Every structure is written in structure tokens, then in C-alpha cells.
Amino acid sequence: MSTSIDIRSVTKTYHRGGEALRVLDELELQMAGGTFYALMGPSGSGKTTLLNLIGGLDHADSGEVLVGDEDLTQLDGSALAQWRAENVGFIFQGFNLLPVLSARENVELPLLLAPLSKRQRREQAERALELVGLQDRMDHKPRELSGGQEQRVAIARAIASDPQIILADEPTGDLDRTTADSVLELLQRLNRELDKTILMVTHDPQAASYAGKVIHLDKGKLGRIDDNTAAARN
Amino acid sequence: MPWKLLFRNVLGHPMRSVLTIGSVAVAVFLVCILHAVTAGLRSTVSAASADRLLVQSAVSLFVDLPLSYQQKMAGVPGIEAICKWQWFGGRYEQDKGGFFQQFGIDTDTFRTSYPEISLIDGSYEEFVKNRTACLIGTELAEKYDWRVGQTVPITGTIYQRTDGKAWEFLVAGIYESSSPSIDQQTLWFHFDYLHESLEAGGASGPEGVGVYMLRMAKGTDPISVQRTVDAMFENGPQRVNTTTEAEFNRQFVSMLGDVPSLLQMVGGAVLFAIFFAVLNTMIMAGRERTRDLGIMKAIGFTDRTTALLLVGESVLVCSLGAAVGILGGLLLEKPFQAAMSSFIPAFAFDKNTLLLGAAIALGTGLISGLVPGWRAARLTTVQALREVG
């Protein structure tokens, strides 16, 4: 069953240099489960902050962040960590693989938190790497991979523990167009074939075109939501 | 706990890890050596016999006492035997840079006064019978490959023969000692041989006795004997200072200054320096790993696990250093023992020394890891990921 996301009157303010900066301002937003969302908006509009709140990486000052049945604002640090391990996969712009581990070991990392045997972990990591087309690069260290391959490993890591939600922060920001397209196609496939709820922050309209819906944020508030039917048809 | 990641992080910077492990190893090795030296010195003092007193000049150990004192002291109640000790200060002809002790002693009272000494080769009777005979310790025999029946040439630095030749001593026996207060690298010869050579003009050097050993009868009050002997020579010609053997050993050690305290201070300084070196390394490692810690937290690892990862890394590095240091110490124990046995017969890496080395390394690792570990635990995921770029 896919997981919906419900943001209710969420406010988040950062304090920098004695100045209060309200990044999210009473934001209301509902996202259906099993949908590929792109999150767009100018710099400072609150995209990454919203992503962090939905991923349980940060706390809202007020309001409710409901992911499935869980209100993340009610969870403490260790409960949030456990919730993240079970429910969310992250993909970052800079790939963020651990350089000392091989591709397989990087993908196995989140599985260490699941009650799995060593063999099960290995098999699950290998399945995830096969899914992203890197079955022949499993033992390579990140420095031995191209940018596109690194991001594929990061995607494999994000899906290895079979989370319902995948959160991606500018996943194609460091990639060339062709590689970026192949990564976006992969995300699209994960959404369509595995019914994952995907929320992707991007500045790139072409990247956003791969999403089913495009959420526009402006100064911490919801601007509009575009239904990207062309992408949906594809 | 992601153990593989912990090991990989250590292996990920091989040069840094090797240097840190090396510095911990050297520190542990040094601390073990220093501890073995101080423990050896204390052991030498504490192993001293309770029924032996030593009489030396009240002025200095380097001032000889008159020969006539022996007869006077023999009449003191409670004294069972007297043995003269005279420092010879010679050098082996074929190893003039090597050091070992030689003493002229009274052969008739020496054996009964030092029951901790036993012969493993040769015979004491032969030693007594032959005026130029000597007894040597097992380590000395091993060091120069000397055997019973061999004549060994010793050049005197204090006592020189007038014919310009070296003194010749016939090895009559090889001894071993069951007490750390007697080392296994000493050569004992007849005091009379030295004395008679001086008397006959065959040798030159100071006449007299360096130290008289007084063996007391069972049940004798040593303080009473000490007071009697000291009072006996109060008006000269040479005032004396009578001490227990333990006190004599302690004074001998303290001639080098407060060696144990000095060594402990050196050991402490070494540890202090290494602690900061390891701490600095671990803080650097923790900072470099900020991004990795952020990723791990985002994936679902707790603050505690990320902190333990750094503490574990520090402890692992220091444990490896301890293992190398202790292993090095064990491998070099014998050569060190051989080099030091003349000064510190009880020098040894005992269990306590090894445990101390391991405990210090583990403590250093733990404390050095706590600082970056604490920082890692406090670091929020968002902060850590923001530092990515």
C-alpha cells in the first residue's frame, strides 16, 4: 500500500545572525501515495526544508507532518531515526556514498538496520543494484564509478530496504543531460512499477517533466500544483 | 554497529592509521620499559635480605674502611659472619666497552651469607681452594661464552698490576641467583688475592674495604647491631653508617636521583603527548567524516551509533598500537634484560606491565574517541548534510 503525505499548517523558522527567517509559513499540502512529485520553486522558497520535514530529518516549529499514519512531529530523535530506516529512502545531489565502501556495501548499509541475515542483506543489495543496472559494478568503490553510476548506486541504496517513500534532493544536479535523463527514467520506473511515492526537489523543468505532478512553492507557501499529464502518459 | 565501516574507516587512510598506530605503539613500548625499570628497581630493594646489614663509610660509599674493622665488629653480639666486599672496577680485555661488576669477597663467609646463590656448574670448593679463582653469573658466562676452567683476563681500572698485565681469574663456578637483589652478571673473586697483591707490591690501588656485610644470627635485633657498630667507630679513624640491605639498595638506587619518579614523569609526559596526538587525529577524522555521519543519520542510524563508530575507531587504532607496542616489548625483553641486568636484575615485562600498557592504550583510545563521538552525536542530520556543500 502506497503512503500519502499530509502537511498541515506547518511553519518552520531558521535563526541566522540574530535574524528570524520563516522558510515555511503555515504550509498546507496533501500528496497522494504512489505518485511521483516534483517540488519546484525559487531558492529560499522552502523546498529542501519541506523535504527534510517529510523525511524526518528536521522538526517543524508548528503544525503536523503526517506521513501515512505517523505524525512525525510527535516522534523524538531515535524514534525518527528508526522511522526513517523503515520508511524513507534518500537520494542527494552529491550522491553521498561512503567512499570506503564498495557499491554493494553502500547499498547494504541501510539493511544493517533491518532484522536480516548477512546473506539476506547481500541478496537484497544485489537485487537493488541489478534493478538500477549495476550488477557488473557491485564491488567497485565510488571513486571507480562515473557520476551517473554513483547516483544509481545511491538510488539502489534508497530502495534497498523497500521504503514506501523516496525523497530526492536535486538528484540530477551534478549530472549531464543524458545521464540525468537515465536517472530520471529510473525514478519514474520505480514509481510506476514499484508504486513508490517519490518527492523530488529540482530547479530543472525538464527533470520536473518526469514527475506526475509538480508542486510549486513560493516564499514558504504553496503556489500551485501542476498535473503533468504528458509525463503521466509517458 | 556497522563493524565493516569501522574497519574500513581505519584502512581508508592507511598512512594516517599507520602513523597513529606507530606512535601509540612507541608510547606503549616506552611506558612498558619505564614501568619494568621502576618495578625492577623496587623489586631489587624489596627482595633484599632482612638478616644482612651493610657497613659503609659514613662519608661516602666511595671511601674505603680499614681492614682492622672486621675483627672489632666480629665481637658484636648477634653478628654471625662478616664478608668483605671490594669494588674492583675492571674491564674484560676483549670488550673494554662492556660493563659488569667485579667484587673481591671473603670466600669463607660468602656462600653461607648468600643462600640465594647456587652454583649450576663448577664447585665452590675449587673456588675456595684456588687463590685466583672466581665465580661468574650465568648471564655473564653466556655473554662472553666463558666456561668453568677458563682463565679470563680483566684489566683493572682502580687496581692495576705493576707488571702492566691484566689480572687473570680462573672461572671455578657459574652461579644463578633466585633473588632479584643479586644480578647474574657479577664476577666474584678472593678479596685476599687482591689484598695480598697490594701488600706484595704486585699491584697498586687503594687498600681497605668498600663495604662489610654483617650476617646476623636468627632473632637478633638489627637496630641494636646497627647502633652498636656505628657507635664503635664514632671516634674514627673512619666513621661508619650501618644499614639494612634494603636501605643500602635504596640508597644505591637513589644515587642516580629519584629514578622511579623521574621515569614516571617521563612516561606521563610521553602519554600526555600521545594522547593529544591521537585526540587530534580523531578530531580530524570526525570532521572529515561529517558528511558520512550525515548520510548515516539520514539512512536511520542513531546518534549513539554514529558516536560509537568514532569511539570504536579510536579504540581500535589504539588497541592495534598497544598490541604492536607490547609485542615489540616482548620481543626486545631479553636484549633489554641483558643490557640492564647489572643495574636492575629484576627488570622484566611482568603481567602487570603488559596490562598497564594495554590499559593506557585503551584509555587513550576511549577518551580520544569521546570528543569527536560527542560531536557526532550532537550533530543534526541537516547540519551534517549542509556541510556537504
Q: Do B298 and A100 make contact, defined as CB atoms within 8 angstroms?
A: no
The predicted pLDDT at position A177 comes to 87
Q: Do B4 and A101 make contact, defined as CB atoms within 8 angstroms?
A: yes
| CB contact B389 to A (< 8 Å) | yes
| Complex prediction ipTM | 0.86
- Residues written for chain A: 234
Q: Do A58 and B12 make contact, defined as CB atoms within 8 angstroms?
A: no
What chain B residue is nearest to A166 in terms of C-alpha separation? B299
Looking at domain A5-94+165-233, its CATH superfamily turns out to be: P-loop containing nucleotide triphosphate hydrolases (3.40.50.300)
- Tell me the three state secondary structure of residue B92: strand
Contacts of B16 in chain A (CB under 8 A): none
Contacts of A82 in chain B (CB under 8 A): 300, 302
The predicted pLDDT at position B373 comes to 92
Cβ count within 10 A of residue A77: 16
Query: Taking Cα atoms as reference points, which of B1, B97, B16 lies closest to residue B277?
Result: B16
pLDDT digits (tens, 9 = 90+) for A74-112: 998 889 999 999 999 998 887 789 888 999 999 999 998
The mean predicted confidence, pLDDT, of chain A is 89
| CB contact B14 to A (< 8 Å) | no
Q: Where does the pLDDT of residue B252 fall: very low under 50, low under 70, confident under 90, or very high at 90 and above?
A: low
Contacts of B310 in chain A (CB under 8 A): none
| CB contact B142 to A (< 8 Å) | no
Q: Are B121 and B148 in contact (CB under 8 A)?
A: yes
Question: Which residue among B5, B297, B382 sits closest to A98, beta carbon to beta carbon?
Answer: B5
What chain B residue is nearest to A98 in terms of C-alpha separation? B292
Q: Do A84 and B298 make contact, defined as CB atoms within 8 angstroms?
A: yes
The predicted pLDDT at position B115 comes to 82
What chain A residue is nearest to B13 in terms of C-alpha separation? A100
| CB contact B4 to A (< 8 Å) | yes
Report which listed range, B126-130, B259-263, B330-334, is most confident. B126-130
Q: Are B275 and B265 in contact (CB under 8 A)?
A: no
Q: Do B5 and A78 make contact, defined as CB atoms within 8 angstroms?
A: no
pLDDT digits (tens, 9 = 90+) for A33-61: 999 999 999 988 899 999 999 999 999 99
What are the domain boundaries of chain A? 5-94+165-233
pLDDT for residue B13 is more than 90 = no
What are the domain boundaries of chain B? 3-45+258-386, 64-237
The predicted pLDDT at position A144 comes to 94
Q: Do A113 and B299 make contact, defined as CB atoms within 8 angstroms?
A: yes
Q: Do B388 and A101 make contact, defined as CB atoms within 8 angstroms?
A: no
| CB contact B288 to A (< 8 Å) | no
| CB contact B284 to A (< 8 Å) | no
* C-alpha grid cell, residue A50: 519541506
| CB contact B96 to A (< 8 Å) | no
The predicted pLDDT at position A229 comes to 58
Cell 531558521: give the residue.
A14
Q: Which helix (H) or strand (E) is B91 found in, with range?
A: strand B90-92
Beta strands in A165-204 (DSSP E): 165-169, 197-201
Q: Give every residue of chain A whose pLDDT is below 70, as ranges.
A: 1, 229-234
Q: Do B388 and A109 make contact, defined as CB atoms within 8 angstroms?
A: no
Cα dihedral across residues A82, A86, A89, A94: positive or negative:
positive
The predicted pLDDT at position A234 comes to 46
pLDDT digits (tens, 9 = 90+) for B17-71: 899 999 889 888 888 888 888 777 777 666 666 788 888 887 877 888 888 888 8
